[in-house]
């Protein structure tokens, strides 16, 4: 059995080696090899987290094996050569070299003692690594089991129609997962794995236009200065005129998916799975700089205190000066991938697979607190004027006071992982793998409304003008 060299996910969420699943699909199969479920699409999504874990495991083991073998061989050859030399020298200069021989034996003893200490340290490190890997495997298996159970439940229940959906209007059109939504004026823009961006009139709930130029799933959107920027798995950023809905330019240069977009001070920042952040001038649309330093995919971006913060699967947050584009600091401390960043006036919050949220002073860039309590990955963060919210795979939302940084409430109700959060007028809105959208009162922290309507996980949320918009794995947009 060989290690996966290129793990990828299929539409059901299962992970396979790319060469194996491509052979499976090339044979004409259109189902998941594990569950037998029909694949909604044939897109293969790189599983960067698993690939990094395999690489770390391989590196650790290969170095140990290589070092171990080389040291043993080297020691044996060295001792053999020493004995041959000593035999020749003893014959000629036995008395002169006896003292040197004793010194040599003493050095060998010291080397053996050092080797034993190093071996003990390596064994201890191996045990700790094994425990971490075991925990990660158990966590992955638990998440996989939850996803499989969720999929079985979805296929066992009847699909609802738009007229049956409680208190909402469903916008149909996308054929695959909705990855991002952005509101501009009376229009809603939605990006999907079906490679399109749909433009909706909020008042009529009708699709006005379909922007079709990307060749792979569209993952990220941001609107600035009358332009819509869209990042995709095709490694490009498309620039669209919001008024005319025409494409102005295609920005190229990234060598992997563009997962995060943010705008600050007339500059567009794009974070990619290639591990870089590119900076583009909004006026000329030229690339000003390639910000390098991350050793893993860049997952999230947020602007605060004149800096752009980038969170990565390499477990770090890097801080870039918006003007000089220099890296001011690398924020470390997380032991898992950083998946979410949000900012308040004084702090930047980073949510990680290590189950914690770290609080960084936006100006000194020091970690002032580690927020603990979640029992699984922290997937999403949101802030209001006085509160910060963290959503997790443990199915809960934790509410933190921005002033004291204490947890003031744990919101329970979702039956699957919390994937999306948005702050509306007097309420927090949450979306989950359990297919529901929940509304929580910001004063009482009670769930005031549970909305069933989507037929698959709720992936993204946006609150604007008295409405909440939800994008789902089922390809629909909910308007609440």
Q: pLDDT higher for 33 or 368?
A: 368
Give the confidence band of 148 by pLDDT, cuts at 50, 70, 90: low
Q: What is the pLDDT of residues 44-67, one digit of tens each?
A: 888 887 777 777 777 777 544 333
Residue 155 has pLDDT above 70, yes or no: no
By the 10 Å C-beta count (0-12 exposed, 13-18 middle, 19+ buried), 361 is classed as middle
Instruction: Flag whether pLDDT at 153 surpasses 50.
Output: yes
Q: Is 445 helix (H, G, I), strand (E, B) or coil?
A: coil
When mean pLDDT is compared across 37-41, 242-246, 302-306, 307-311, the lowest value belongs to 37-41
Among 102-106, 213-217, 226-230, 297-301, whose mean pLDDT is lowest?
Answer: 102-106
Domain boundaries of the chain, sorted by first residue: 47-156, 168-479
pLDDT above 90 covers a percentage of the chain that reads 58
Q: How far is CA 133 from CA 2, 26, 54, 126, in A?
A: 17, 33, 10, 10
Whole-number pLDDT of residue 146: 60
Does pTM surpass 0.95? no
Structural contact between residues 246 and 258, judged by C-beta atoms closer than 8 angstroms: no
pLDDT digits (tens, 9 = 90+) for 289-308: 999 999 999 999 999 999 99
pLDDT at 319: 98
DSSP-derived secondary structure letter, 217: -
Residue 176 has pLDDT above 50, yes or no: yes
Which of 422, 388, 381 minimizes the C-alpha distance to 406? 388
- Separation of alpha carbons 460 and 420, rounded Å: 5
**What pLDDT, on a 0 to 100 scale, did the predictor assign at position 145?**
62
Strands 317-321 and 327-331, by their bridges, are: antiparallel
Tell me: the pLDDT tens digits for 358-374? 999 999 999 999 999 99
Model confidence at 280, pLDDT cuts 50, 70, 90, reads very high
Mean pLDDT of 83-99: 63
CA atoms within 13 A on the CB side of 416: 24
105 band by pLDDT with thresholds 50, 70 and 90: confident
Q: Which CATH superfamily is domain 168-479 in?
A: YVTN repeat-like/Quinoprotein amine dehydrogenase (2.130.10.10)
The pLDDT assigned to 165 comes to 40
**Res 204: pLDDT:** 86
- Please, what is the end-to-end C-alpha distance for the chain in angstroms? 50
In this prediction, residue 80 has a pLDDT band, given cuts at 50, 70 and 90, of low
Tell me the pLDDT tens digit for each residue of 418-432. 999 999 988 999 999
Beta-sheet strand order (sheet of 338-343): 338-343, 347-352, 357-361, 367-371
- Cα–Cα distance for residue pair 83/62, rounded to 1 Å: 32
Is the pLDDT at 141 greater than 60, yes or no? yes
Range with lowest mean pLDDT among 13-17, 227-231, 358-362: 13-17
Q: How confident is the model at residue 40 (pLDDT cuts 50, 70, 90)?
A: confident
Report CA 103 to chain centroid distance, whole Å: 56
385 CA to centre of own chain = 26
In this prediction, residues 372-383 reach a mean pLDDT of 96
């Amino acid at each position: 059995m060989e290690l996966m060299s290129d793990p990828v996910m299929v539409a059901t969420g299962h992970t396979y080696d790319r060469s194996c699943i491509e052979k499976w699909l090339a044979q004409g199969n259109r189902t998941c090899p594990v569950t037998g479920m029909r694949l909604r699409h044939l897109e293969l999504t790189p599983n960067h987290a698993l690939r990094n874990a395999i690489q770390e495991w391989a590196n650790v083991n290969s170095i140990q094996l290589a070092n171990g073998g080389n040291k043993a061989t080297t020691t044996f050859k060295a001792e053999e050569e020493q004995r041959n030399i000593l035999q020749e020298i003893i014959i000629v200069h036995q008395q002169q070299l006896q003292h040197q021989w004793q010194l040599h034996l003493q050095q060998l003893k010291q080397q053996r003692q050092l080797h034993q200490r190093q071996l003990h340290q390596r064994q201890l490190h191996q045990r700790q690594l094994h425990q971490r890997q075991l925990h990660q495997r158990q966590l992955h298996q638990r998440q996989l089991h939850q996803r499989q159970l969720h999929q079985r439940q979805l296929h066992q229940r009847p699909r609802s129609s738009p007229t049956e959906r409680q208190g909402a209007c469903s916008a149909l059109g996308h054929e695959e997962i909705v990855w991002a939504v952005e509101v501009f004026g009376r229009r809603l823009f939605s990006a999907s794995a079906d490679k399109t961006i749909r433009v909706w009139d909020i008042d009529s709930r009708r699709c006005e236009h379909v922007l079709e130029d990307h060749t792979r799933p569209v993952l990220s959107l941001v609107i600035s200065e009358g332009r819509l920027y869209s990042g995709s798995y095709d490694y490009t950023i498309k620039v669209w005129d919001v008024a005319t809905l025409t494409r102005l330019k295609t920005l190229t240069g990234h060598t992997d998916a563009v997962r995060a977009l943010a705008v600050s001070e007339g500059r567009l920042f794009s974070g990619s799975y290639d591990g870089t952040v590119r900076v583009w001038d909004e006026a000329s649309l030229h690339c000003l700089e390639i910000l390098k330093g991350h050793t893993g995919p860049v997952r999230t971006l947020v602007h605060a205190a004149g800096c752009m913060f980038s969170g990565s699967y390499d477990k770090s947050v890097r801080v870039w000066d918006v003007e000089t584009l220099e890296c001011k600091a690398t924020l470390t401390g997380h032991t898992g991938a950083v998946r979410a960043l949000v900012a308040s006036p004084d702090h930047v919050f980073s949510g990680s697979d290590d189950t914690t949220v770290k609080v960084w002073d936006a100006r000194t860039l020091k970690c002032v607190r580690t927020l603990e309590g979640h029992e699984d990955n922290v997937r999403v963060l949101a802030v209001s004027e006085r509160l910060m919210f963290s959503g997790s795979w443990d199915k809960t939302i934790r509410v933190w006071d921005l002033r004291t940084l204490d947890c003031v409430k744990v919101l329970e109700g979702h039956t699957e992982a919390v994937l999306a959060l948005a702050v509306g007028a007097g309420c927090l809105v949450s979306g989950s793998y359990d297919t529901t959208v929940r509304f929580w009162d910001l004063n009482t922290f009670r769930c005031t409304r549970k909305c069933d309507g989507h037929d698959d996980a709720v992936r993204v949320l946006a609150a604007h003008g008295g409405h909440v918009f939800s994008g789902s794995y089922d390809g629909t947009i909910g308007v609440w």
